[in-house]
Amino acid sequence: MRGIAKPDVIAGGSLLVLGLLYGALALDEGLGTMADSGAGFFPFVVALALVAASAVVLLQSRRRTPAGPTRPEDAPDGDADGDADGDGDGERERGGEVRWWRIAGVLAAALLVPAVGDIVGMIVTLAVSLVLMAKVMGVSRWSSAVIFGFSFGAATWLIFVRWLLVPLPAGMLGLF
């Protein structure tokens, strides 16, 4: 597959299959009407977004050439160790490498939600999980990660609890 970024094709194809499966399952639940949406309406909207996002990834992977410079001295704005992002770890941000520690970190943070969401409270757990995910993915300042995580938590609370009147677990602490 010359000229195609293989990880993008695998990711886009996997998400496309997952989105189509999720959409089919949502249709089985029933969409309802705009005035009285059924159980499958919101999952179907999520499935459509997933299919659209995977299509974008697949289309971009068709246009993309293989990863950039292969020699450290050719790295843009980098130094001799190929540290293009300047964080001193010697890793290139666009080298096409998979950073398994980041995947494991995001997965661990995501697993906090079902593990402790009922105990601590869903909104608080989501906010803390996103703070951890932001740090794992490279947000350099803790303040930025905290603002991001708790803004997402506040938006989630406003949308689901206040606007849609969906009761989310408040946990034993009674926080949101």
Q: pLDDT, tens digit, for every residue of 101-151?
A: 888 888 888 888 888 888 888 888 889 999 998 998 888 889 999 999 999
Q: Which residues of 99-136 are buried (b: 16+ CB within 10 A; e: fewer)?
A: eeeeeebbeebeebbeebbeebbbbbbbbbbbbbbbbb
Residue whose tokens read 């410079």: 69
Q: In terms of C-beta density within 10 A (0-12 exposed, 13-18 middle, 19 or more buried), how is residue 2 classed? A: exposed
For the chain, the maximum distance between any two Cα atoms, rounded to a whole number of angstroms, is 61
Q: Taking the alpha carbons of 152, 153, 159, 164 in that order, is the dihedral positive or negative?
A: positive
Over 90: is that where the pLDDT of 169 sits? no
Residues 26 and 28: their CA atoms lie apart, in Å, by 5
What pLDDT digit, counting tens, does each position of 38-63 carry? 887 888 888 888 888 888 888 887 77
